[in-house]
Amino acid sequence: MKIISYNVNGIRAAIKKGMLDWLQSANPDVICIQETKAQQDQVDAEVIKSAGYPYQYWFSAQKKGYSGVAIFCKQEPNHIEYGTGIETMDFEGRNIRVDFDEVSVMSMYLPSGTNKLRLDFKFNYMDEIQEYLNNLNKEIPNLVICGDYNICHEAIDIHNPKMKGVSGFLPEERAWISNFIDTGFIDSFRHLNKEPHHYSWWSYRANSRANNKGWRIDYNMVSAPLKENISRAFILPDAKHSDHCPIGLELQF
């Protein structure tokens, strides 16, 4: 199974930039989208279907043009879970999950901590989603939690490790990722790739992408029982429909 996660920073804009042609070429079995910034009826389902994805599931924010997640699949899943049932996070459309026989795949979009109010919201989300996933993992041991976590884990994951006072690389955020992994998840990319200078997001400022001054804040986290199934994990920086790039995972069953 080939899974790709992609924060598209507005799916309508990404489609205009050729995202669906790229998607056909990349050809994942499942693609997890974050930051759709759209309601389902604002996007032509037929053009996504024509790219090879007849099964399209959306969980949009109540606020139009904001946040939102989606998952597109080649094959029909057994079950779709919209949101988490936790009201404090679900109104922003940050979680959707599809369940297959061998694995369940979630598209997750953690908040960014752009100011004090949003940072408090982010920390609350982090606490609540961790508890939710701890319980979910008891029920469904084979989980892949894809998405934009808005956190760099280690110094190797950011072009300038001195940025310790900036949300996304705060000690508390980094510790949360460490704890997340310690609860039984594997950072699939780092599991197979130890080299520096691999990033998934670049600021639009100061020609950051051309100079590869980026952050690795997107992850395909794989639950421990699937460790031996991880055959490939990769980042696709040449896909340029967003300020993020897609990240991929292949599981062999």
Active site residue 120: no
Name the token pair of 78.
């057994």
**Under a CB-based contact definition with an 8 Å cutoff, are residues 167 and 217 in contact?**
no
Report how far residue 232's alpha carbon sits from residue 191's, in angstroms, rounded to the nearest whole number.
Answer: 9
Helices (H), the chain: 11-16, 19-26, 45-50, 87-90, 116-139, 171-182, 188-192
Strand partners, 232: 250
- Which residue in 41, 44, 148, 218 is the catalytic one? 148
> For strand 2-7 and strand 247-251, is the pairing parallel, antiparallel, or unpaired?
antiparallel
Q: What share of the chain is helix, strand, coil (3-state, %, to 5)?
A: 30, 25, 45
Active site residues: 148
